[in-house]
Amino acid sequence: MTAPAPGQALRRALGAAFGGAMNLLEAPMRLAQAKLRGGRIGWVFVVPNLSVFGLFTFLPILIDLVYAATGGNQLFPAQRPYVGTANFRALLACRNYLDPNTCTRDLFWHGVYNTAEFVVLQVGFMVGLSLVTALALNRPGRGRGFFRAVFFYPVLLSPVVVALIWKWVLQRYGVLNALLSALGLAPHDWLLNATTAFFWSVFVSIWAHMGFYTLILLAGLQAIPRDVYEAAAMDATPPWRRFRRITLPLLMPSLLVVLVLALIRAVQIFDEVYVLTGGGPGTSTTFLVQFIYQTGFAQQVREYGMAAAASLLLAGVLMALTVLQLRLARPKS
Amino acid sequence: MSGLVGMLTARRGRLARDWTDWASLAYLLLGVLVMFLPVLWLFASSLKSDQALNAFPPTFLPWEPAQVAVPGQPGHLPLMQVTAGPLAGRRLAELRHIGLMAQMLDPARPGRVLPIPVRDLRPVLRLHASWSNFTDLVRRFNFFGYFWNSVLITTLATLITLLINSMAAFALSKYRFAGRDAVFALMLATLMVPPTIVLVPNFLIAARLDLVNSIWGVIWPGVATPTGVFLLRQYMLTIPDDLIEAARMDNASEWRIYWRIVLPLSAPALAVLAIFSVMWRWNDFLWPMVVLNRSSVFTLPLALFSFQGDLQTQWHYLLAMTVLTLLPVTVIFLFLQRSITQGIASAGVK
Amino acid sequence: MLRLLDVGKTYGTVSVMRDVSFDVAAGEFIVFVGPSGCGKSTLLRMICGLETVTAGRIEIDGKLANDIPAASRGLALVFQSYALYPHMTVRQNMAFGLENLRTPKPEIERRVAEAARMLRLENLLARRPTQLSGGQRQRVAIGRAIVREPRIFLFDEPLSNLDAELRVEMRAELAQLHRRLATTMIYVTHDQVEAMTMADRIVVLRAGAVEQVGAPLELYNRPANRFVAGFIGSPRMNFLDGHVTASEAGWTTVEIAGVGPIRARGTLRTGTQASLGIRPEHVATVPAGAEGTVNLVRGQVASIEQLGSASFVRLADPALNLQIPGQTDVRFGDEIVVSLPPEHVHLFDDQGAAQPRP
């Protein structure tokens, strides 16, 4: 008998552990199977998942409604006074809707406007860049795997890590300013100026996420059959026309999926920007989710009701986007 | 414009190389610079001492002023190069400087103090990787504690996610029971409820279940993922029902059919979900920040975030910790790059 | 051994199987045959326990089995797709069922080894199904059934995924296996040649009902109705439709439009619609001038297939196929006369039921 290779031994041990663990459930599952005839045993398999969903998704939506309709700063709903629509009215009270500073909850409206601006810029540029990158990657040549990996790598990084990487690059004495000085340009306090801080928020979040969308678009491009292009070549189709009339229409399903996914994620922007700028300077990079987080958890007096009300408004937007996604994802009949 | 057009439209399968190939290559190389240089810069910076970090303009490699031990003097003295005067070319240790004159010592003959004008001196630089950034981090801060919390949460959450999502997917793809379609629709509907929406109520529930400041408080809310159920169900639909009936004829219980037949055959889909789950969990930020507020249970991203508040001036530790946080992900990615990108691409198309 | 009594199945309001009754004796090789969609696979799966029975009784060894779960019926099924577990080796595939029964390890080893020997799989035990040829997979699927030592083997179109040559070979192997194991086997196929060559008895099914049960030659020689007559036998039986002009003393005359009166054994009411059937090998050519024989039919040769050992001639108007032993000098376009020997002519009434020949 020769000793098995360590890798094999490990695999075998893991397999045995897995089998042992699974066998523990054999007896109760047999019992359930004897009690539930036919397909009803399926319920037993669904219940764990469904209970987690129930506890942490369905029940919370109901609680959200309760919170949104109650005031005070108590956590437990029973101790909270009913206020009706006061939270919503407070959130939506503005003398001039175009000027957040005239609103009762000016931070909320700053969040709304910043988020809207962010969504338009980030999604627009990111989807465009992802498309260009996917097209560039979808060509023959060495090292495509390497390029693909490099573009995808930031997707794997924690938003905190992403923010710190860029904070380090952008700081007053950072490498970007050093490069600018070397070129004879003036250095900037990038994150201390409202306009540049917003620009870098958009830039950094594109940097962090575009690899994911590039990958999906690349898969979409590679799913386009080659004979379509060969037929186009036989018809002497010029390049721009080939892109407009063949690549783009055939890529459209993937492009729509990417667009909606990116929209849903952009509306919820928080992590990397919060670490990068803390929402500042002032309120220039404060977004909706940060408003929810701050109102509910980070201020002295936690206003759960206000946070829940803002969550529900955000949920409305997301629901519309998700319905849009399901519409688009469904194959056309 | 036409250049962009050509680049956009060229694609695989062409034999002749033309300038659009070069344009796309140039674009990709530029992309590599933008995507990867900041990370590289982080790695390089993390090896610099606090002193070297403060140098402006910064250098890529960790150059720092050399120091030298001089007999008879306590500690180390900065080492200087003399650039002019009778002693030009000599390297001397600086004892102190008063006004525009420095008092220098020759390390070889420390007996005599040499006065030299400050403008004739330049610090001697040497390459010094400041590994102490990392060792201090491990020694002075509870780095391994945070690391362990992150590993534990990621591992447990992923295992539970795989288990309960695959169970549900199995039932939804292989059994017919009253209410099955309703259950499936309900699960899909939760796609519309991202964690940000239910932040406040989930905190209440976590508090009620005594899960605040417990890793289970981080784990439980996210283990039932509609994405996971959907992904696995679609895959399991492709497993022939004959196999399940054969196993049934083979006296396998339904549970055994699940884990001996369906689970191994779903391995590719499980791998994709595992990748997603590890990614979500390792990088999760907002929810852990809400539910964990004692530093002993912090995950790496949380610790990193709280450090950047506390250690604002101590970039050397902050950078080292950032590197340690992204290192595991990077190593895994180096090894599994192909399967990760392909797995995600295949899941994304559906 | 196995008894079906008025077995039926309905999905909602749709009835897919009704009043199926027959007995299977121990050690018998029974073949269910019928065109696709006739319910033969459903019937097999009901016997297995993979489909529920909504009417009637299925008894195994005298015990009602309707509600016994599939695994506990002591049957083994070989699937059309083989349904081999792709992630297990051949050995693991065969052992899986016994492991589920917590059979002791040495016993599993013994049975797998024996089955592997019987099916010549010894050298393939460590392989995965994807590394096997179609025939080898087929044998593994059978091996998986054998190790269970079932009371009844059930086969669901097991040869339909094999090429023609391999199919003939596997047919012989299955027959041999049946002789060796002497276990009851139930075999589903849509191929009447398989049914004829392998079965002790055949159950002919159509549209969820049994048309006839009997030994192969019994079905061939005495089909109960027009459907069985047409389904069993290759080349197919010829049919001629007409109406009864006379019926007396066990003989019936049927007037066929464009052909004339044809006499057959059997009794039918005068004036009713009837059809006549005759197998191509029974249609005899009549040499020119040999008049006086009954049931003469004149027709023009529309096609000839010479196989060397036999010749197939097709007449047009009336459409009639002839099988002539050996070779023939009949040519395309010739007008020839054939006779339909009365003792070989089957008579069916207007419902298609065969009339008994006295």
Q: Please provide the average confidence, as pLDDT, over all residues in chain A.
A: 84
Q: Provide the CATH number for the domain formed by C2-231 in this structure.
A: 3.40.50.300
Strand, helix or coil for residue C321: strand
Q: Using a CB-CB distance cutoff of 8 angstroms, which residues of chain B are in contact with residue A181? A: 57
Give the span between the Cα atoms of B341 and A9, in whole angstroms: 29
Please indicate whether, in this complex, the C-beta atoms of B325 and A216 are within 8 angstroms of each other: no
Task: Please report all neighbours of B, defined by 3+ CB atom pairs within 8 A.
Answer: A, C
Q: Please provide the average confidence, as pLDDT, over all residues in chain B.
A: 82
Give the span between the Cα atoms of A283 and A72, in whole angstroms: 25
Please indicate whether, in this complex, the C-beta atoms of C83 and B253 are within 8 angstroms of each other: no
Confidence of residue A219 (pLDDT cuts 50, 70, 90): confident
Q: Enter the DSSP assignment of A326.
A: H
0.90 surpassed by complex ipTM:
no
Give the span between the Cα atoms of A136 and A126, in whole angstroms: 15
Distances (CA, A) of A163 to A121, A171, B331: 19, 12, 20
> Any idea which of A95-99, A182-186, A220-224 has the lowest mean pLDDT?
A95-99
Q: Which of C50, C94, C142, C148 to mutate to test the interface with B (most CBs of B within 10 A)?
A: C50
> Which runs of E-coded beta strand occur in chain B?
63-65, 67-69, 76-82, 91-98, 101-106, 109-117, 121-123, 125-127
Question: What is the structure's pLDDT at B11?
Answer: 47
Please indicate whether, in this complex, the C-beta atoms of B242 and C83 are within 8 angstroms of each other: yes
Of B247, B248, B265, the CB nearest to C86: B265
Please indicate whether, in this complex, the C-beta atoms of B255 and A29 are within 8 angstroms of each other: yes
Please indicate whether, in this complex, the C-beta atoms of B246 and C85 are within 8 angstroms of each other: yes
Q: Using a CB-CB distance cutoff of 8 angstroms, which residues of chain A are in contact with residue B62? A: none
pLDDT at residue A88 tops 90: no
> Any idea which of B13-27, B263-277, C13-27, C217-231 has the lowest mean pLDDT?
B13-27
Give the span between the Cα atoms of B307 and C184, in whole angstroms: 76
Count of B-C CB contacts under 8 Å: 54
Question: What is the structure's pLDDT at B151?
Answer: 92
Domain span including residue A179: 116-288
> Any idea which of A4-8, A182-186, B258-262 has the lowest mean pLDDT?
A4-8
Please indicate whether, in this complex, the C-beta atoms of A318 and B190 are within 8 angstroms of each other: no
Of B12, B32, B279, the CB nearest to A156: B279
Count of A-B CB contacts under 8 Å: 332
Please indicate whether, in this complex, the C-beta atoms of C100 and B245 are within 8 angstroms of each other: no
Please indicate whether, in this complex, the C-beta atoms of C97 and B250 are within 8 angstroms of each other: yes
Give me A17's structure tokens: 């552990």
Give the span between the Cα atoms of A202 and A266, in whole angstroms: 10
Strand, helix or coil for residue B102: strand
Please indicate whether, in this complex, the C-beta atoms of A135 and B11 are within 8 angstroms of each other: yes
Q: Which of B24, B200, B205, B253 to mutate to test the interface with A (most CBs of A within 10 A)?
A: B200
> Any idea which of B91-95, C68-72, C271-275 has the lowest mean pLDDT?
B91-95
pLDDT at residue B13 tops 50: no
* Residue A189 located in a structural domain: yes
Of the candidates B191, B196, B336, B334, the one whose C-alpha atom is nearest the C-alpha of residue B275 is B336
CATH number 3.30.565 given to B67-123? no
Measured between CA atoms, how close is B113 to chain A, in angstroms? 36
Please indicate whether, in this complex, the C-beta atoms of B199 and A268 are within 8 angstroms of each other: no
Query: Which helix (H) or strand (E) element contains residue C95?
Result: helix C90-100
CATH number of A258's domain: 1.10.3720.10
B55: left (phi over 0), alpha (psi -120 to 50) or beta: beta
Please indicate whether, in this complex, the C-beta atoms of B249 and C75 are within 8 angstroms of each other: yes
Instruction: Encode pLDDT of A275-311 as tens digits.
Output: 888 887 888 888 888 888 888 888 777 888 888 888 8
Residues whose CB is less than 8 angstroms from the CB of residue A289 and which lie 6 or more positions away in sequence, other chains included: A268, A269, A270, A314, B196, B286
Question: What is the structure's pLDDT at C160?
Answer: 86
Q: Which of B20, B341, B342 to mutate to test the interface with A (most CBs of A within 10 A)?
A: B341
- pLDDT > 90 in chain C, percent: 48
Q: Minimal Cα distance from B150: which residue of A?
A: A158
Please indicate whether, in this complex, the C-beta atoms of A52 and B220 are within 8 angstroms of each other: yes
Q: How many domains does chain A have?
A: 1
CA dihedral C38→C39→C40→C41, nearest 10 degrees, is 130
Radius of gyration of chain A (CA): 26
Give the span between the Cα atoms of C112 and C102, in whole angstroms: 15
Four-residue CA torsion sign, A14, A15, A20, A21: positive
* Residue A175 located in a structural domain: yes
Strand, helix or coil for residue A211: helix
Please indicate whether, in this complex, the C-beta atoms of B249 and C77 are within 8 angstroms of each other: yes
- pLDDT top residue among A256 and C140: C140
Instruction: Encode pLDDT of A8-38 as tens digits.
Output: 888 889 889 988 888 888 888 888 888 887 7
Mean pLDDT of C196-224: 92
Confidence of residue B8 (pLDDT cuts 50, 70, 90): very low
Instruction: Encode pLDDT of C37-52 as tens digits.
Output: 888 999 999 998 888 8
Q: Enter the DSSP assignment of A103.
A: B
Give the span between the Cα atoms of B179 and A43, in whole angstroms: 9
Q: Minimal Cα distance from B251: which residue of C?
A: C71
Confidence of residue B334 (pLDDT cuts 50, 70, 90): confident
Instruction: Encode pLDDT of B231-257 as tens digits.
Output: 899 899 999 999 999 998 888 889 999
Measured between CA atoms, how close is B268 to chain C, in angstroms? 13
Question: What is the structure's pLDDT at C292?
Answer: 62
pLDDT at residue A95 tops 90: no
Question: What is the structure's pLDDT at A102?
Answer: 75
Give the span between the Cα atoms of A158 and B17, in whole angstroms: 39
Q: Using a CB-CB distance cutoff of 8 angstroms, which residues of chain A are in contact with residue B203? A: 75, 296-297
Distances (CA, A) of C273 to A171, C223, C247, C257, C342: 102, 19, 13, 12, 19
Instruction: Encode pLDDT of B85-96 as tens digits.
Output: 777 777 777 777
Whether the CB of A231 is below 8 Å from some CB of chain B: the reply is: no
Question: What is the structure's pLDDT at A123?
Answer: 93
| Residue C232 · residue C204 · CB < 8 Å | yes
* Residue A154 located in a structural domain: yes
pLDDT at residue B1 tops 70: no
pLDDT at residue C109 tops 80: yes
Question: What is the structure's pLDDT at C187?
Answer: 94
Please indicate whether, in this complex, the C-beta atoms of B205 and A55 are within 8 angstroms of each other: yes
- pLDDT top residue among B16 and B160: B160
Whether the CB of A328 is below 8 Å from some CB of chain B: the reply is: no
Tell which B residues from 210 to 249 touch C, by Cβ distance under 8 Å.
240, 242-243, 245-249
Measured from the Cβ of residue A245, the count of other Cβ atoms closer than 10 Å reads 12
Q: Using a CB-CB distance cutoff of 8 angstroms, which residues of chain B are in contact with residue A154? A: 35, 39
| Residue A264 · residue A321 · CB < 8 Å | yes
Q: Using a CB-CB distance cutoff of 8 angstroms, which residues of chain A are in contact with residue B319? A: 164, 168
Question: What is the structure's pLDDT at B247?
Answer: 92
Tell the CATH superfamily of the B141-349 domain. Answer: MetI-like (1.10.3720.10)
Mean pLDDT of A64-76: 81
Strand, helix or coil for residue A170: helix
Distances (CA, A) of B51 to B64, B79, B137, B179: 7, 15, 17, 67
Measured between CA atoms, how close is A3 to chain B, in angstroms? 26
Give me A327's structure tokens: 């519409």
CATH architecture of C238-348: Beta Barrel (2.40)
Question: What is the structure's pLDDT at B5?
Answer: 47
* Domain range summary for chain C, segments of one domain joined by +: 2-231, 238-348
Instruction: Encode pLDDT of A125-178 as tens digits.
Output: 999 999 999 988 887 767 788 888 899 999 989 899 999 899 888 887 788 888
Question: What is the structure's pLDDT at C70?
Answer: 83
Query: Which helix (H) or strand (E) element contains residue B43?
Result: helix B19-46
Give me C329's structure tokens: 């000098």
Confidence of residue A330 (pLDDT cuts 50, 70, 90): low
Confidence of residue B2 (pLDDT cuts 50, 70, 90): very low
* Residue A53 located in a structural domain: no
